[in-house]
Amino acid sequence: MCRSVVVCFLVLFSFWFSCRSSQTLPKPFTSRIDREYEIFAPLFDHTIFSHEPQSEIHFRLSHSGIREGDIILRLMDGASSLLTAFSGLGSCSHVGIIVNDDSTLYVVDCQPHNAEVMGEHCIKRHTLKEWVTDMSFRGQTHKVITVRVVRPVQPIERSKLLALTNHYLSGCVQFDGEFKLDNNDPHCQNLYCSEFVYEIFCQLAQSTDFVMPSDPITNSLIDRVLDMKKEKSNDFIRMLETIESRYGSKLRSVDNLITPASFEWSTAFEPVCIAIHPDLKDSGYDILLNAHSMISRAILFYRALDGVSCQVDLQPMLKYAKIPAPTSSMILNVIDQYQKDKAALFYNGNELIQSHLCKIATSDELFTLLGGSLARMKRQGHPGQS
């Protein structure tokens, strides 16, 4: 009898404790983790490969609830696209903004081949279907490997968005191959793809707080690459030198850099949908898929932690988010350093994400995986596109 009572008590205590533990987790944290994990689930479990071929990407996007004001990002197959995405440790290399005109969704973007003649006006409006469809460039067809859509947390004013995009469409904008924010000509603006979207949102939000700058991450990568270039001993460096030669651009440190990842990971935006081409496995990008999944899990954790008190117990939160042990250790190290440096009362998700990605940027494993991806692309003859 006593033994039964003890067993019953232990069961009830365990149930009470588990309920109490789950209730102590901040509601904003659990709701954000639940919502964003649902969107990222196909990426984490690879069921994303079970979808129909690439023509289905447009269908899935059209039925995902995307709307005007959303930011759309994409990655084409090829080495230069992968390196561009890699520069901010994001998943995409190009970005545009969605507008709605007469019930039709369009993407307005900034890219050099929007111009009829190189060096001329480079802002253009594309139908959504056109933007996510394979394209021909320099005699080769490039597949759209992945597309992501994110939405500003704060609502935007539709009339102001249309006025701004129309202003840029009818203006004079040259593509900024120097990737600088402060080099506009008095008569013609110089913009690159991420800078164009950044300019739009700066004017919509009257603030720059919405974006997560990529230059600390990119400069960490550059420092690591410059050390590796001295060795000239792996596929990554050989491919990088080929691309540098092709485009006449050398590695250099950057200031105030905005990349597609600045929007993809920023806590000021929430994910709407992810679409991946089933042929991704043939592009070489799949080699990085597992690593990117791990990066995504950590970033989703930091995103959910944004605005949460620094006094919370992180262990049950890591457990709730199902973060694996190696990633949990890195997260705890990043947060420990953050608390020492900032002495903050509440977590800043963007600052945590930035610190985490700076650590990832120096990882030998990441560069080994990237080298393998680039080597496969080289064998397949894909120079890449945005």
Higher pLDDT, 86 or 348: 348
The answer to whether 145 and 282 are in contact (CB under 8 A) is no
In a domain, 159, yes or no: yes
Place of tokens 């001295």: 230
Q: Provide the token pair at 205.
A: 């939000």
Instruction: Please state, in angstroms and rounded to a whole number, the distance separating the CA atoms of residues 173 and 184.
Output: 9
In a domain, 50, yes or no: yes
CATH of the domain at 309: 3.90.1720.10
Average of pLDDT values for 54-73? Answer: 85
Among 2-6, 25-29, 315-319, 332-336, the least confident range: 2-6
Among 60-64, 126-130, 259-263, 375-379, the least confident range: 375-379
In a domain, 318, yes or no: yes
In a domain, 10, yes or no: no
Report how many domains make up the chain: 1
Q: What pLDDT does 384 receive?
A: 52
Q: What pLDDT does 56 receive?
A: 73
Average of pLDDT values for 20-38? Answer: 82
Instruction: Please state, in angstroms and rounded to a whole number, the distance separating the CA atoms of residues 40 and 42.
Output: 6
Strand order in the sheet with 104-110: 123-127, 104-110, 94-101, 71-76, 144-152, 269-276
In a domain, 292, yes or no: yes
In a domain, 15, yes or no: no
In a domain, 6, yes or no: no
Name which of 175, 170, 264, 250 is nearest 214 in CA terms.
264
Domain extent at residue 168: 26-380
- Using a 10 angstrom Cβ sphere, with 0-12 exposed, 13-18 middle and 19 or more buried, the burial of residue 348 is middle
Higher pLDDT, 128 or 185: 128
Instruction: Please state, in angstroms and rounded to a whole number, the distance separating the CA atoms of residues 273 and 149.
Output: 6
Is pLDDT of 201 > 60? yes
